[in-house]
Amino acid sequence: MFSPAITYRKGAHNQTWAPSLAPSRSSHPIAARPFLLALLAWTALASTASWASAQEPPARVVATVGMIGDVAAELAAGCAEVATLMGPGIDPHLYQATSGDVRDLGRADLILYAGLTLEGQLGEVLARFAERTPTLAVAEAAAGPADRIRTSSAYGVDPHVWMDASLWAGTVPVIADALATVAPACESGVRARATEAEAELLALHAWVAEAVATIPEERRVLVTAHDAFAYYGHAYGIQVAGIQGVSTEAEPSIADIRATARTIADAGVPAVFIETTINPRTIQAVLDAAADLGHVATLGGSLYSDAMGEPGTPEGSYVGMLRANTVAIVTALGGAVPPLPDALRPWAERYGVPMDVAGDTP
Ligand code: ZN
């Protein structure tokens, strides 16, 4: 049921693979004050409720990344306009606001971003808008208690919460509450769709866990270019070896690459993965280093880490993004992908995706 009705700003596709733009390993500016931002956001939300009404044009919602925009568009179902700043292939860690983004943010009735430092350089801009527009860090809110937020000793908090579908399901009530506040006339529809959406994401979560469990235990090692998959690994029981750290702001060192090659050679890992938002040279360097150690691994395919696929395709939805990643990982590492759960049948029918990737059932 996740809607393909996401609009991306024109021109937002320009910024891909630019790992050397900001070589600093320093933490993101927004990191220091997430709670202040959250407070500002809710204060602003509360003050908005009085003037939003059914007579006004649809509320305008601006989301930073597609994973948020997808949930918001599904819940809004046309009752509010949802635009997403960062399209396919865009790296949110490095993204800088365009003049068009600033204009869109300035017109927004509600701004939804992930938080937890994901939108590194956009953070300063978001902080400015949070002073006058309801602005909500949905990944922070969904992760809830701090013990569900993963951290890395080198980089601090890990923002890639959407990789655990049970955590991402937590964004549904958060976004539904925000939509109900800025578009009160839509509230009953939003609430009904939220119930359904949450059930779908929890069914997706159970399916991913079931799929990963089919990989032979010794092969449950996921090697990717940057550390976007720690939530996935924790939730679904697969060891994760990212080469580049949680953010993409620093280039991986030769030592990082050699250490990762040693890990996959020692474990006999058959495949490693590239990411749609990261330069594939890094992962090729790991394959070459592993070959020097006498271990031949292959490319297991391309994973969606920090951006979804093209709008209108299955991978252009959050469910399809996680499904595509899981199919690629499970297949390349020697598991067997189970049929999708019944709760995802409406999603599968909408996109023409088979319930069973093996093709046994329609
Ligand atoms: Zn990332």
- pLDDT tens-digit series, residues 289-307: 999 999 999 999 999 999 9
pLDDT at res. 357: 86
From residue 5, how far is each of 11, 43, 114, 162, 295 by CA, in Å?
Answer: 18, 30, 20, 19, 44
Is 161 within 8 Å of 116 (Cβ atoms)? yes
Q: Where is the domain boundary, 204, 228, 258?
A: 204
Does 16 map to a domain? no
Q: Where is the domain boundary, 204, 219, 234?
A: 204
What is the CA(49)–ligand 1 centre distance, in A?
Answer: 34
What is the CA(27)–ligand 1 centre distance, in A?
Answer: 14
Does 147 map to a domain? yes
What is the CA(46)–ligand 1 centre distance, in A?
Answer: 32
- The Cα 302–Cα 325 span in angstroms is 8
Q: Where is the domain boundary, 173, 204, 235?
A: 204
Name residue 95's amino acid.
Answer: Y
Does 28 map to a domain? no
pLDDT at res. 11: 41
What is the CA(244)–ligand 1 centre distance, in A?
Answer: 10
Burial group, residue 342, by CB count within 10 angstroms (0-12, 13-18, 19+): exposed
pLDDT at res. 143: 83
Asked whether residue 189 falls in the same domain as residue 247, the answer is no
Asked whether residue 265 falls in the same domain as residue 279, the answer is yes
Reported as a single tens digit per residue, the pLDDT across 197-252 is 999 999 999 999 999 999 999 889 999 887 889 999 999 999 998 887 666 777 78
Nearest CA to 20 among 286, 281, 308, 301? 281
Asked whether residue 255 falls in the same domain as residue 327, the answer is yes
From residue 9, how far is each of 65, 92, 97, 136, 230 by CA, in Å?
Answer: 11, 14, 11, 20, 30
What is the CA(159)–ligand 1 centre distance, in A?
Answer: 7
The SS3 of residue 291 is helix
What is the CA(224)–ligand 1 centre distance, in A?
Answer: 11
Asked whether residue 192 falls in the same domain as residue 214, the answer is no
What is the CA(275)–ligand 1 centre distance, in A?
Answer: 10
Tokens representing 38 are 């959250």
pLDDT at res. 151: 83
The HSE-up count of residue 75 (CA atoms within 13 Å, CB side) is 29
Quote the number of domains for the chain. Answer: 2
The SS3 of residue 327 is helix
Is 260 within 8 Å of 241 (Cβ atoms)? yes
Cα four-point dihedral sign 299, 242, 67, 276: negative
pLDDT at res. 14: 36
- The Cα 318–Cα 302 span in angstroms is 16
Full domain range(s) for residue 124: 59-204
Angle between helices 171-182 and 66-76 (to 10 degrees): 60
What is the CA(228)–ligand 1 centre distance, in A?
Answer: 5
pLDDT at res. 3: 43
What is the CA(247)–ligand 1 centre distance, in A?
Answer: 5
What is the CA(87)–ligand 1 centre distance, in A?
Answer: 14
What is the CA(183)–ligand 1 centre distance, in A?
Answer: 31
- The Cα 30–Cα 8 span in angstroms is 24
- CATH classification at residue 253: 3.40.50.1980
Which residue positions in the chain have pLDDT lower than 70?
Answer: 1-56, 145-146, 153-155, 245-247, 359-362
